Amino acid sequence: MKLDELYITARLAKLDLGEKEAEKLSVEVSRMLEYFAVMEKVDVAGLDATVQTLDRGNITRSDVVSSLDVTGRILANAPETEDRFIIIPKVL
Amino acid sequence: MKIKENLDSYLKYVSNWEEKIGSFLEFDISRTKGMSTVEGQLAGIPFGVKDNFAVEGFNITCGSKILEGVSAPYTATSVAKLQAAGAVVVGKTNLDAFGMGSSTDNSAFKITNNPWDTNRVAGGSSGGSAAAVAAGIVPFALGSDTGGSVRQPASFCGVYGLKPTYGVVSRYGLTAYASSLDVVGVVARTVEMTKTVFDTMKGQDIKDNTSVSHPGSRNNGDVKKIAVLKIEDGSLSDDVAKSYLESRKLLEKLGYDIVEIELPSLEYVVPVYYTIATAEASANLARYNGLRYGYRSKNGNDPGEIMQTSRDEGFGDEVKLRILLGTYVLRSGFQDQFYHKAQKIRTAIRNEFDKIFELADLIMMPVFPTAAFKHGSKDLDPFQQKVADRYTCAANLTGLPALAIPSSIENGLPVGVQFTAPAFEEDRLFNIAKVLEKDFPSPLAPGTKNWSII
């Protein structure tokens, strides 16, 4: 994979890669993609895609209110908070 | 020696072994004690939980700096069911970050060594769980298995490793890596313990819409005919090849009807697996952005920049590699070539397994081409480790249950063998494992001992 392709992919993946890191990763990503190329020779005509293996439809449940009072414990994991708000740098 | 009556010597034993193997990221026998019932099938039994499961009272780091110090706000259903049966969580075990790896060397926090030889890895990604069980610290531990992450370390450490049928154990509280492949698995010292833990955890869970109830075996778990995968010369190390041949001979001696089979699609399972797993991982790991919880970088002036720097500084190399690969195969223009193609080949792989189960009750194949390798990629570099997943990741792509069973000791290291069954036929796996356990039980690593549990 060319370095500019890697940077485009990294931007989509929200990864701010350093130069050295990008060079190293581009070698490793390329090695995997070359390996993936073996899939090209497989004839998949007439085959559907497998997206999951349970072979069943949607599961639904009734819309019943239930409470799992963990808000405080979840907020406790935030890097910075004020009252019940998570502080982040300004957006605009 | 009983743990309960000899708590001090047990704790001494644990700290002694932990110094050598480093299997736990956190260990505290009393922290969740009140959350377990005092009676039940597993009353008083200590167990370890891989650190990508939520257990109230402990952190959940997934072995990554990006989640360092994050505490679990609730408990995973699988763990809660075991607590309801009396089992007690004693700690969180080490892993390759987010379950990505075959060595546990990709943990951001510590190295885990194999109790059989501390220069070698315990396998991965559930290496901490397997090492803890093999060292006699706990009689069982939970792991997650996306491409072999329970079976391969179990095999490296000489214990049992179960990957159940997809969907049979609730994943509520398990950190998602690749959602169409991830299952909750069990590492244990005996077949009976593996089965008890599995039976306790299985069942549909309203909190996990991908979970299903287990219909039970269609034939009482009877095993008569076993399909044995033919191995091409040179695909296994000499030790593993020798052990594999002996397992086959043993099955013949025990009177099973053996049929040799080939699985041509095995050539494609690793590329298909890594295409699908990384694609799903790139989506699942998009949630870690440093804003709401976990590691937040100090570099960056706005939320967009902070997301990028936090992810770059917080994720390790292997995780970044997989996110990049997964993002690439999902990019517009490349989807048909990679992701969609892989999903179709996945169907071909499933068809091939289904066909074999028309003529056999189980399939026997190796777990991994080698015994435990040395730290630092000396024997197998990270790319070769991925290629070596060929025997384990098929069960994840097909959703089928599979069990790694200790088969022999070769040159001082345990070797295992793997059985795969049709969907929901875990009982067939337990039945064959019980028969083979009589011939070769899980071996005790030098210097370890079997604590009697209660």
Whether the pLDDT of residue B1 is over 60: the answer is no
- pLDDT category at B109 given cuts 50, 70, 90 is very high
Cβ B446 vs Cβ B38: under 8 Å: no
Q: What is the mean pLDDT of chain B?
A: 96
A86 interfaces chain B, CB cutoff of 8 Å: yes
pLDDT tens digits for range A4-37 = 999 999 999 999 999 999 999 999 999 999 999 9
Q: What is the mean pLDDT of residues A78-83?
A: 93
| Residue B447: CA count within 13 A, CB half-sphere | 12
CB B258 within 8 A of CB B251: yes
Number of Cβ within 10 Å of residue B406's Cβ equals: 26
Lowest mean pLDDT among B25-34, B105-114, B285-294, B418-427: B25-34
What pLDDT, on the 0 to 100 scale, is given for residue A2? 86
Contacts with B45 (C-beta within 8 Å, 6 or more apart), sequence order: B86, B87, B88, B139, B140, B453, B454
Number of domains in chain A: 1
Is A19 contained in some domain? yes
Residue B454 has pLDDT above 60, yes or no: no
The one-letter code for the residue type at B25 is L
* CA gap B203, B185 in Å, rounded: 14
**Percent of chain B at pLDDT exceeding 70:** 98
Asked whether residue A18 is domain-assigned, the answer is yes
Residue B407 confidence (pLDDT) above 60: yes
- Round to whole Å and give the CA distance between B122 and B115: 8
CB atoms B296 and A18 under 8 Å: no
Q: Is B416 helix (H, G, I), strand (E, B) or coil?
A: strand
Q: Which of A39, A58, A74 to mutate to test the interface with B (most CBs of B within 10 A)?
A: A39
B429 and B165 Cβ atoms separated by less than 8 Å: no
**Strand (E) or helix (H) holding B167:** none
B50 is catalytic: yes
B27-41, B406-420, B434-448: segment of lowest average pLDDT = B27-41
Dump the DSSP string for B304-370.
HHHHHHHHHHHS-HHHHHHHHHHHHHHSTTTTIIIIIHHHHHHHHHHHHHHHHTTT-SEEEEES-SS
Let me know if B386 is a catalytic residue.
Answer: no
Chain A CB contacts of B321 under 8 Å are: 25, 28-29, 32
Distance from chain centroid for Cα B365: 17
* Mean pLDDT along residues A55-83: 87
* CB–CB contact A89 B302 (8 Å): yes
Per-residue pLDDT, A45:
95
Q: What is the pLDDT of residue B2?
A: 63
Residue A20's alpha-carbon distances to A17, A26, A33, B80, B289, in angstroms, are 8, 10, 20, 45, 22
Residue B243 has pLDDT above 90, yes or no: yes
Question: How large is the average pLDDT for residues A43-47?
Answer: 96
Q: Residue B449, Cβ neighbours under 10 Å: how many?
A: 11
A25:B321 CB<8 A = yes
Mean pLDDT score, B326-350: 95
pLDDT at A69: 84
pTM score, two decimals?
A: 0.97
Active site residue B102: no
Round to whole Å and give the CA distance between B386 and B124.
Answer: 11
Q: What domain range includes position A16?
A: 3-41
B49 - beta bridge partners? B92, B142
CA distance linking residue B451 with residue B29, whole number of Å: 15
| pLDDT for residue B452 | 67
Which pLDDT score, from 0 to 100, does residue B160 have?
A: 98
Is A65 within the bounds of a domain? no
Domains of chain B: 1-454 (3.90.1300.10)
What's the angle, vertex CA B175, arms to CA B89 and CA B75, rounded to 5? 35
User: With an 8 Å Cβ cutoff, is B173 touching chain A?
Assistant: no
d(CA B406, CA B255): 20
| Window 39-98 of B, Cβ < 8 Å to A | 70-71, 73-74
* Confidence check: pLDDT of B183 > 90: yes
Q: In this structure, what token pair is assigned to residue B417?
A: 């063998």
Per-residue pLDDT, averaged over B224-243, amounts to 96
Rounded Cα distance between B194 and B16, Å, is 26
pLDDT exceeds cutoff 60 at A83:
yes
Identified catalytic residue from B50, B65, B81, B163 = B50
Among B324, B341, B382, beta carbon nearest to A25: B324
> B370-396 pLDDT, tens per residue?
999 999 877 788 899 999 999 999 999
ipTM over 0.90: yes
At residue B394, the 3 state secondary structure works out as: helix
For residue A49, is it within any domain? no
The pLDDT of B155-184, averaged and rounded, is: 98
> A13 in a domain, yes or no?
yes
Cis peptide before B125 (omega within 30 of 0): yes
Residue type, B151: R
Output phi, psi for B192, to 5 deg. Answer: -60, -45
In angstroms, the Cα distances linking B355 to B262, B351, B407, B432 are 12, 6, 27, 21
pLDDT of residue B280: 98
- The share of chain B scoring above pLDDT 90, in percent, equals 92
Distance, CA of B368 to CA of B354 (rounded, Å): 22
CA dist B79 and B141 (Å) reads: 10
B376: alpha, beta or left? (left if phi > 0; alpha if psi -120 to 50) = left
pLDDT band at B453 (very low <50, low <70, confident <90, very high): low
Q: Among B98, B215, B223, which residue's Cα sits nearest to residue B165? A: B215
In a domain, A64, yes or no: no
